[in-house]
Amino acid sequence: MSRSCRRSDRRRRHFALRCTLPSLARTALDQYLLQRGLPVTPERWSPATPLVVSLEDDDAHIESTRLWRVMRRFFVLAADAIQDERPATAEKLRRASPHWMRHTHASHALARGAELIMVRDNLRHASISTTSTYLHSDEVQRARQFDQAFRSRDL
């Protein structure tokens, strides 16, 4: 299921994007919208309504720097909670950032069989080679072999 998302550029102009959500994420989004008293039917969504709101004002979007700090704090709290049982994972969480979630999403999607082109499109990469950096071990070798096999323009 796709969802139009508001996004701002550096000059604070807004534009719509299409986001592909798995059904589990869509269910969570619907529950979140209902808790905020907003419609879950896409035809009734207002493009002016922020998806993630400010903690101080339900009509204003959360600033990206604030969201970054909230997520970083969450990673640190999660790291503290697992420190004794999983110290290596806790250390990774302490270094995590919201952008790390993007990398993690891509790596897990590819490892679970998502097509490279679909992941590229989801991440909005211009080049498939950028997305290929998220392939690991046997996936990298497989991608290189297919790249070599189909490199010829004579096909």
Model pLDDT for residues 39-95, shown as the tens digit of each residue: 998 888 887 888 888 878 877 888 889 989 999 999 999 999 999 999 999 999 999
pLDDT of 101 strictly over 80: yes
CA 125 → CA 70, 82, 119, distances in Å? 26, 34, 9
List the domain boundaries for the chain.
2-44, 63-96, 98-155
Q: Where does residue 45 rank: exposed (0-12), middle (13-18), buried (19+ CB within 10 A)?
A: middle
> What confidence category does residue 135 fall into, taking pLDDT thresholds of 50, 70 and 90?
confident
Residue 8 β-bridge partners: 14
Band the pLDDT of 155: cuts 50, 70, 90: low
pLDDT (0 to 100) of residue 124: 87
What pTM does this model have? 0.64
Residue 134 pLDDT > 50: yes
pLDDT at position 5 over 60: no
Contact by Cβ (8 Å): 79, 93: yes
d(CA 112, CA 22): 13
Rounded average pLDDT over 5-11: 50
pLDDT beyond 90 at 138: no
In the chain, % of residues over pLDDT 70: 84
Whole-number Å distance between alpha carbons of 61 and 49: 8
* Average pLDDT rounded to a whole number, residues 133-137: 78
Per-residue pLDDT at 26 exceeds 60? yes
Run of H or E including 2: strand 2-8
pLDDT level of residue 2 (50, 70, 90 thresholds): very low
> Cα–Cα–Cα angle for 111, 117, 118, nearest 5°?
70
